[in-house]
Amino acid sequence: MSSTPRDEARGLTLVALSTVAYGVLPILGKVAYAAGVRPLPLLAWRYVVAAVLIALLERSAAPPPLRVRLRLWAVGSVFVFNSIAYFRALEQIPASVTALVLYTYPVLVAFLAAIAGVERLTWRALVAAVGAFAGCALTATGAAEGAPLPASGILWALAAALVYASYIVLSSRLGAGVPARVLALHLAQAAAVICVGFALVDGGLALPLDPRAVLSVAGIGVVSTVVAMTAFLAGMALVGPTRASVLSSLEVVVTLVLAFLLLGERLAPGQWAGAALILGAVAFQNAPALRRAMMGLSRKA
């Protein structure tokens, strides 16, 4: 993995782009649900759209060897269950809380990456991941007002966090040396096959005859899948899975703000305190890389 200031700055920028693209995902998901879209058809069309678009972007590239493709499809088979769990949670609990519970995963990534031998568990990574976890927990607690949230929704979101942490570590290890769009293509292909199969068993692929349904599903496929996935994988290849996962915790802030502005989900003081913890963890984790990047840029000026 390259550690030059320019590569680190580019990696952080790509992960930040993916964070914004992923941050709009629960908002679009809530719009789709309001229009009558069911979770499995939504996911099936999401990954079919993504697989087609990424294939068009990669049409001039030679496919990797079959053994590599099988490995990447296996990673995609893990990734898709994160999506299924996430959208099941989104059915039952607010978008902001779903995103917050999901972002318990940075602390899981740090430990799983160390166990898998992808990265050493440094004190900075551990403190930053714990800070992000604490911020998410505090924000989730602040969001709980009125009637208790369904336990099944929280459990689905926690399951999504665990699967997503596993996917990040697996994609970093098994996808090493594979271009980001090639990896994203195989992830989308595996996810499309699995989700289409599940949707057909569960009642079919039909979407409601509502423009909101079509536009929200298309937005999820293009922005929150193609853009988000390829940018994240490319950025992670440059900065590593633990740093990428901690930086992507900013997705929580994006989702909280959009959920407040567009869905009317109220931000409590505890949520803002949690968001501050997340921002602090991200700044602390990436301070050395950002400092080196700034020094490199100043020398070139």
41 pLDDT band, cuts 50/70/90, is very high
Rounded distance between C-alpha atoms, residue 151 and residue 196, angstroms: 28
- DSSP calls for 59-115: TTSPPPPHHHHHHHHHHHHHHHHHHHHHHHHHHHS-HHHHHHHHTTHHHHHHHHHHH
**3-class DSSP assignment, residue 282:** helix
Rounded distance between C-alpha atoms, residue 224 and residue 50, angstroms: 9
The amino acid sitting at 128 is A
Specify the pLDDT at position 2.
46
103 pLDDT band, cuts 50/70/90, is confident
Specify the pLDDT at position 301.
43
Specify the pLDDT at position 89.
92
C-alpha pair distances (Å), 214 with each of 179, 207, 222: 30, 7, 12
Specify the pLDDT at position 123.
80
Over residues 69-96, the mean pLDDT reads: 90
Handedness of CA 281, 5, 23, 174 (dihedral sign): negative
Rounded distance between C-alpha atoms, residue 246 and residue 131, angstroms: 9
Lowest mean pLDDT segment, chosen from 16-20, 105-109, 158-162: 105-109
Rounded distance between C-alpha atoms, residue 4 and residue 87, angstroms: 38
Kindly report, residue by residue over 221-257, the tens digit of the pLDDT: 999 999 988 888 888 878 777 677 677 777 878 888 8
Specify the pLDDT at position 43.
95
Specify the pLDDT at position 193.
96
Is 0.85 surpassed by the pTM of this model? no
**Residue written as token pair 């099988």:** 70
Specify the pLDDT at position 48.
96
Over residues 207-212, the mean pLDDT reads: 92
Task: For residue 204, give the DSSP letter.
Answer: -
- Considering its fold, how many domains does the chain have in total? 1
Is the pLDDT confidence value at 113 over 60? Answer: yes
Specify the pLDDT at position 148.
60
Structural domain boundaries, residue 56 = 5-300
Over residues 259-266, the mean pLDDT reads: 85
Specify the pLDDT at position 62.
78
- DSSP calls for 255-278: HHHHHHHHH-----HHHHHHHHHH
Over residues 42-64, the mean pLDDT reads: 89
Kindly report, residue by residue over 129-174, the tens digit of the pLDDT: 788 778 777 766 654 455 566 778 888 988 998 898 888 888 777 7
Is the pLDDT confidence value at 73 over 80? Answer: yes
Is the pLDDT confidence value at 117 over 80? Answer: no
Over residues 80-96, the mean pLDDT reads: 91
Return the number of other C-beta atoms located less than 10 Å from residue 111's C-beta: 16
Is the pLDDT confidence value at 300 over 70? Answer: no
